[in-house]
Amino acid sequence: MFKVIRDRCIRYKATNYLKTYKNDRRYSNSTGKEWVTSADIVIVGGGIAGCNTLYQLSKRGVNVVLLERNKLTSGTTWHTAGLVWSLRPSDLEVRLLQDSRNVYGALEEETGDYAGWINNGGMFISRSKVRTEEYLRLHTLGKAMGIPSEVLDPHEAQKLFPLLDPSVFKMALYSPLDGTIDPAMACNALVKAASKHGGKIYEDCPVIDIHYAHNLLGNKEVTGVHTDKGFIKTKCVVNCGGVWGPRIARFAGVPSLPIIPFKHAYVVSDAIPEIRGCPNVRDHDVNLYFKIQGESCNIGGYENNPIMLDQVPEHQHFHLYELDWDIFSVHMNSATSLCPKLGKVGIKSTVCGPESFTPDHKPLLGEDSNVFGLFHNCGYNSAGMMFSAGTAIQMAEWILSGRPSYNMFSFDVNRFSISQLSRAHWVRESSHESYVRNYNIVFPNDEPLAGRDASHDALHQELIDDGAVMQARAGWERPGFFIPGEKIRVQQYDWGGVNEYPRNLDQRYEELLKGEYSFGFSKHHDIIGAEALACRNAAALFNMSYYGKFYLTGPDAQRTAELAFTADLSKKADRLVYTLLLNEKGGVEADLTVSILDGGSGQLHEPIFKGRGYYVVTSGFSANHTASILRKIIHKHKLRANLTDVSKQLCILGIQGPDSQRILQRYTDAGLSNDAFPLHTHRSITVTNAPTDSKSYTCRALRVSWAGELGWELHVPSSHAVQVYKALRKANGLTNAGWRALTSLSAEKGYHLWNVDLRTDDNPIEANMGFTCRKDGEYIGNEYVTKARKNGVTKKYAFLTLDDKVAIFGQEAIYRNGEPVGYVRRGDYGFFLNKSIGIGYITNKGAEVTKDYLNEGNYEIEVMGNKYKAKLYLKSPFDPTGQRLLGNYGNLGMDENTYEPHAGQNERAGGSE
């Protein structure tokens, strides 16, 4: 069916490329140059990521050196297709792509050389209704972010790309800003510009080792790079090694970097004159892409049975593999179904090279938590050409100022937990799934099948027995919702049944997930709603054990807390404080609850230590990130403080709702009234009445609620968490509830969810979080908070509700008086309000956003092309004065003093503690 021409194999491209490359050197390389013995920053790896990083750092006046084992681009960059798109289902990625296009578009003017940028546009092809809905979401997000796109019917799409068969697809989304970038030309232009700014490049210079030393606090710090040409003294190394990134990390003593190399391929067709100038195409439904290169069409895709490599030899360069047509033929069949003429066109060359993939299909950026001064910039999942120019801007800021300007958490290497990285099978399974599902529809509540069960809390089996349907977050399994009477366990990854792996016999979890494959309300909407309303109207039990839990102690613990936390922590030892952790630019790196301690009895939940200490609780999926930020503060300021992770050793059971006090009081002698146990305090209490024995168990109780209800969190040592859970499960009126209900309840209350509606690119004043920031003190980021208080802000948090029963999840455009002014960061359904909720930030064309500006507008939210009237609130209308937190439920005919009396209920220090 396909004519393959072998006499001009793509391998000859490498030879010709090298000849041209050597004859056209206009930048400073190692030839004839004196060897440098020190540098501010050393970049390892001369692919597109390294060249972009060199360019951005040298522009900022930094003494920076790039080391390349062989020749620039000789790893995986030289054979890349170089597609650059504009629209992605993430606002961060859209911004990074904008920045990349700006960089590539400006290189020619800066250097005088053509940089290989071709703006021929791009088109997404939809073959299904649900894919069309996804594209409409992208179209809407583009409106909010100033990215033009156009929805086309099949015949309109055919006019832009004449080879298309309009009968096989339903619609197309056209983006005129898309294009391609030539890797060799781009890297030449980047290093030429970098050389003008003093950047140095050394080719044929393999790195032998990265040296580090232990400082007085025992932390590792980079001290230099050892090469076969000599030693370079430096305090900062950037790992741009691509598929060789893990090897470079091991030089610095980092045991694992989650990158897996795969063979990835495309073929180049014979000339087809009618496609010259046509847009590039992505047909996601069949995992296919076209790149238009003159009159040739590059055809590639992501198959479900890719070839995974154990490793790529360190000396391999300008290398390609033989194409396996048994694997690749699926893409040719898809291509001819979309464009029948391609079945009659010859193939003049094939490209099959190594590409690096990561467990969640996101790059690995940022400073390694194991070694200060070691930064990573690799793992681009075959998207390095389009992302690395944008990410290099953020990397430069990250290195020079401590943190990037954008919210880069989803790319931050510290998003992975130690338990995830320590499991080689988790990395391989998850990376395989990320490759296979690269073009899958991104549903808001989908869950992975690979790499599951990396971490369990002590209650895992009990929850499964009680009907929990699990979610995966940072390797932890946590209950999403419950189906009582069912026992649906996540199975081992079966690799999709390819390559002779047998499919799992039990596929109930996979089938259940299909109920989430929608941009409307989930098939489990009513189940989640029942759990949420049980919390609002009675009481619910939440397993929150996956939270990150740390003790901050040591002689300088108080000084560390004063620097790191925005809230006033000079309170009594029984106080619980909600606080933020900011970066040097005033952006929110984490929100936490901090319990103030003055030592304890020596048990796990109340350890013995000298002086003041703190029990820090943060979101589980960002716990490693939070810990790394705190450790950097300790390191930077040379503080004698210790951060001890007890996340595995403690479980958390949250009892929330109007009946929570009545229920919990039956199991403890501790006073639970507002007088005996005030809101935002913590105490060590005893829980009794376990069903299998008569023992008593002590735990730390925190009177706090993320649901916005009267309630407590019990922080129980894992060794007896099962007994406490079983005891509470006997209580009448206490309903097991999962995280889907809990996040809905928190959204309804207007509480923030970090990395969604509260991020590193949000100032606390913008986010209505000024109440968490003390007006005096020296906490990090304080000057930016003070400036925002004084001068106002150009974006502001807003809470919106819809009367129409339509699902929103985030990324939907927000309109004020008919003009886009932002997009929804967080969408959910408030079951008590009985309304869809959208939380986002409103802008005013760069001008200050005031209360009057917010209140005077007429608002709409666009959902998949349709606009719906929205009502804006400055904060949630649900219990705005917080009466429910105090147990005042006048509408239910009760308040906190109507509960049945119990020993110590009305005594602040009552009960036997």
Q: What is the mean pLDDT of residues 197-224?
A: 94
Q: Is the pLDDT of residue 399 over 50?
A: yes
Q: 45-99 pLDDT, tens per residue?
A: 999 999 999 999 999 999 999 999 999 999 999 999 999 999 999 999 999 999 9
Do the Cβ atoms of 642 and 536 come closer than 8 Å? no
Distance CA 248, CA 181 (A): 27
**Residue corresponding to tokens 């790195």:** 207
Distance CA 193, CA 181 (A): 17
Three-state secondary structure call for residue 267: strand
Q: What pLDDT shows up at residue 904? A: 34
Distance CA 414, CA 370 (A): 10
Q: What is the mean pLDDT of residues 573-585?
A: 96
Q: How many Cα atoms sit within 13 Å of 165 on the Cβ side? A: 13
H or E stretch at 551: strand 548-553
Supply the pTM of this predicted model.
Answer: 0.94
Do the Cβ atoms of 269 and 111 come closer than 8 Å? no
H or E stretch at 711: strand 711-717
The answer to which of 2-6, 625-629, 702-706, 714-718 has the lowest mean pLDDT is: 2-6
Tell me the DSSP string of 25-87: --S--STT-PPPSB-SEEEE--SHHHHHHHHHHHHTT--EEEE-SSSTTTTTTTT---EE-S-
Distance CA 775, CA 767 (A): 17
First to last CA, the chain: 81
**Residue corresponding to tokens 């076969």:** 228
CB 459: neighbour CB atoms within 10 A? 23
Q: What pLDDT shows up at residue 109? A: 93
In degrees to the nearest 10, what's the CA dihedral of 356, 359, 362, 366?
-90
Q: 88-125 pLDDT, tens per residue?
A: 999 999 999 999 999 999 999 999 999 999 999 999 99
What tokens does 891 get?
């509408």
Q: How many Cα atoms sit within 13 Å of 62 on the Cβ side? A: 24
Q: Which of 362, 361, 360, 345 is nearest to 290 (CA)?
A: 345
Q: Is the pLDDT of residue 848 over 90?
A: yes
Q: Which of 82, 90, 431 is nearest to 245 (CA)?
A: 431
Mean pLDDT computed over every residue of the chain: 93
Classify burial at 818, counting beta carbons within 10 Å of its beta carbon; exposed 0-12, middle 13-18, buried 19 or more: exposed
Classify burial at 20, counting beta carbons within 10 Å of its beta carbon; exposed 0-12, middle 13-18, buried 19 or more: exposed
Q: How far, rounded to the nearest angstrom, does the alpha carbon of residue 27 sit from its chain's CA centroid?
A: 37
Q: 481-532 pLDDT, tens per residue?
A: 999 999 999 999 999 999 889 999 999 999 999 999 999 999 999 999 999 9
Tell me the DSSP string of 179-234: EEE-HHHHHHHHHHHHHHTT-EEE-S--EEEEEEEE-TTS-EEEEEEEETTEEEE-
Q: What is the mean pLDDT of residues 159-169?
A: 98
Q: Is the pLDDT of residue 617 over 60?
A: yes
Q: What is the mean pLDDT of residues 529-557?
A: 97
Q: 339-371 pLDDT, tens per residue?
A: 999 999 999 999 999 999 999 999 999 999 999
Q: Residues 6 or more apart from 460 whose CB is under 8 A from it?
A: 477
Written as one letter, the residue type at 724 is V
Do the Cβ atoms of 722 and 461 come closer than 8 Å? no
Residue with the bigger pLDDT between 25 and 911: it is 25
Q: What pLDDT shows up at residue 572? A: 86
The sheet with strand 711-717 has its strands ordered as 682-687, 697-702, 711-717, 650-656, 539-543, 734-737
